[in-house]
């Protein structure tokens, strides 16, 4: 199979396999007091230190979770007294959660970049949570007052804003440090979903100025089952999983040591993006191949910062489903703009938020490159694209 779907998940890096194989068979519970437990604890804390250092954080700012989705949920649900604002182009792990929590949605421009003035205005016009009521339970984009659960006293406080660093469909990168300044001036907290940014662009926790940041192992050649929420050590987050005192009492549950060891190996290998320029060159080659086949085909390449590995493109008049089937039959794994857990593809909410017409969005396809991608993969994709496009033109 020619795999061009790295934004969905990535094959394990060889160094990750080696690091995991070295610990896989062992009984590793980091809370046990015997020698095996001490070994597990050391593996856990070494991984935490390496991930922290690679991202410019302190080890006590790294909170391990089982997935990026869990880390995003923890961030959004962890401050129940704060009204929530999220951008219109978030991954479902933020968008759906935010919608359930009655969040307001910050618009983006035609390039998919968050409108700074709109954010400023929304923060200035926030209605503070009233006595005995909280924001919650609304439809997407609306703040609806509901009764608070009795266990959640309201303290007020600024908003919790969640904005992704890099978009999973278009690869567009947000000006996070500037957004952080706006949020902080208004007394808010900023959570950044950096799941698609890690390993593709340099990531520095201090420079981003975020209060929380989500990263996930399986997007960077690490295993499934490990992710992290970077969180300022002084922020009192409400745990979502209660039980044992793991992760300083902020996330109960025995840590998945083998996966976390693999995650740390993947972070060490990719955090400084050693393969980014090569992947960008491959993407540029793909863009020019498609341009020569069909100059009228829209490619989502913008005059704003974008991930090196991601290209969204439209094959005019042919649905994403038809394209996916064709590429699958040709042995090529790609993705429609939006992921589909049920096998049904919904038109991309990201493209809709950018004002892309529905019929155009319905023919969008995402190619995402990674450490194993080669020139031959790009040529094979371009050939398969041309074959389908020519067939459709003749029909
Ligand atoms: N956030 C973004 C931007 C993503 O692309 C994804 C996965 O596609 C997630 C969050 C969810 O991460 P995970 O698959 O680790 O739950």
Condensed to tens digits (0 to 9), the pLDDT of residues 257-291 reads 999 999 999 999 999 999 999 999 999 999 999 99
pLDDT at 389: 92
Q: Whose CA is nearest to atom 7 of ligand 1?
A: 8
Ligand 1 centroid, distance to 91 Cα (angstroms): 7
Q: Phi/psi of residue 198, each to 5°?
A: -55, 130
Q: How far apart are CA 266 and CA 269, in angstroms?
A: 5
Query: Which atom of ligand 1 approaches the CA of 168 most closely?
Result: 5
Among 232, 220, 269, 268, smallest CA distance to 75 is for 232
Q: State if residue 91 touches ligand 1 by the CB under 6 angstroms criterion.
A: yes
5, 197, 213, 219, best to mutate for ligand 1 pocket (most atoms within 8 Å of CB) = 219
Ligand 1 centroid, distance to 218 Cα (angstroms): 9
> 106: Cβ–Cβ under 8 A, 6 or more apart, which residues?
85, 86, 87, 88, 114, 115, 118, 119, 122, 161, 163
Among 93, 381, 55, 71, smallest CA distance to 226 is for 71
pLDDT at 393: 78
Q: State if residue 63 touches ligand 1 by the CB under 6 angstroms criterion.
A: no
pLDDT at 394: 79
216, 262, 366, best to mutate for ligand 1 pocket (most atoms within 8 Å of CB) = 216
Q: Whose CA is nearest to atom 5 of ligand 1?
A: 168
Phi-psi category of 102—alpha, beta or left, where left has phi over 0 and alpha has psi -120 to 50?
Answer: left
With a cut of 70, which residues of the chain have pLDDT below it?
127-157, 337-345
Query: Which atom of ligand 1 approaches the CA of 72 most closely?
Result: 10
pLDDT at 127: 66
pLDDT at 232: 97
Q: State if residue 378 touches ligand 1 by the CB under 6 angstroms criterion.
A: no
Q: How far apart are CA 76 and CA 272, in angstroms?
A: 28
Query: Which atom of ligand 1 approaches the CA of 167 most closely?
Result: 3
Query: Which atom of ligand 1 approaches the CA of 93 most closely?
Result: 10
Cβ burial of 346 (10 Å; 0-12, 13-18, 19+) is middle
Q: State if residue 73 touches ligand 1 by the CB under 6 angstroms criterion.
A: no
Q: Whose CA is nearest to atom 8 of ligand 1?
A: 8
Q: Active-site residue numbers?
A: 340
* DSSP run (H or E) holding 138: none
Span 20-79, pLDDT tens digits: 999 999 999 999 999 999 999 999 999 999 999 999 999 999 999 999 999 999 999 999
Q: How far apart are CA 120 and CA 125, in angstroms?
A: 9
Q: How far apart are CA 225 and CA 257, in angstroms?
A: 10
Ligand 1 centroid, distance to 300 Cα (angstroms): 21
166, 168, 350, best to mutate for ligand 1 pocket (most atoms within 8 Å of CB) = 168
Other C-beta atoms lying within 10 Å of the C-beta of residue 275: 20
Place of tokens 């993006």: 273
């Amino acid at each position: 199979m020619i795999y061009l779907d790295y934004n969905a998940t990535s094959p394990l890096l060889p160094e990750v396999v080696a690091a995991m194989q070295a610990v896989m068979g062992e009984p590793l519970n980091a809370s046990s007091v015997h020698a095996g437990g001490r070994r597990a604890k050391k593996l856990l804390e070494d991984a935490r230190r390496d991930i922290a250092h690679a991202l410019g954080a302190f080890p006590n700012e790294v909170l391990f979770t089982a997935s990026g989705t869990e880390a995003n949920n923890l961030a959004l649900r962890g401050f129940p007294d704060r009204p929530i604002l999220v951008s219109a182009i978030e991954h479902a792990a933020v968008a759906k959660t935010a919608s359930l929590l009655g969040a307001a949605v910050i618009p983006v421009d035609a390039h998919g970049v968050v409108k700074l003035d709109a954010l400023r205005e929304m923060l200035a016009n926030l209605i503070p949570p009233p006595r005995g009521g909280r924001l919650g339970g609304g439809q997407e984009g609306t703040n609806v007052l509901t009764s608070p659960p009795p266990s959640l006293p309201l303290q007020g406080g600024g908003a919790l804003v969640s904005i992704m660093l890099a978009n999973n469909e278009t690869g567009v990168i947000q000006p996070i440090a500037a957004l952080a300044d706006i949020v902080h001036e208004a007394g808010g907290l900023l959570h950044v979903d950096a799941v698609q940014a890690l390993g593709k662009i340099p990531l520095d926790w201090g420079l981003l100025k975020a209060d929380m940041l989500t990263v996930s192992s399986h997007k960077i050649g690490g295993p499934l089952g490990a992710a992290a929420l970077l969180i300022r050590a002084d922020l009192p987050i409400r745990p979502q999983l209660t039980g044992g005192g793991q992760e300083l009492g902020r996330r109960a549950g025995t840590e998945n040591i083998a996966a976390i060891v693999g995650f740390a190996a993947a972070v060490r290998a990719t955090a400084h993006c050693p393969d980014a320029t090569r992947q960008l060159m491959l993407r540029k080659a793909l863009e020019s191949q498609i341009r020569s086949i069909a100059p009228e085909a829209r490619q989502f390449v913008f005059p704003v910062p974008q991930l090196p590995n991601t290209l969204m493109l439209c094959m005019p008049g042919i649905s994403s489903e038809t394209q996916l089937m064709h590429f699958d039959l040709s042995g090529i794994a790609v993705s429609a703009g939006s992921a589909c857990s049920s096998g049904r593809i919904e038109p991309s909410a990201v493209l809709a938020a950018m004002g892309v017409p529905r019929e155009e969005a319905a023919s969008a396809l995402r190619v995402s490159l990674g450490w194993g991608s080669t020139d031959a993969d790009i040529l094979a994709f371009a050939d398969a694209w041309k074959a389908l496009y020519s067939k459709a033109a003749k029909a």
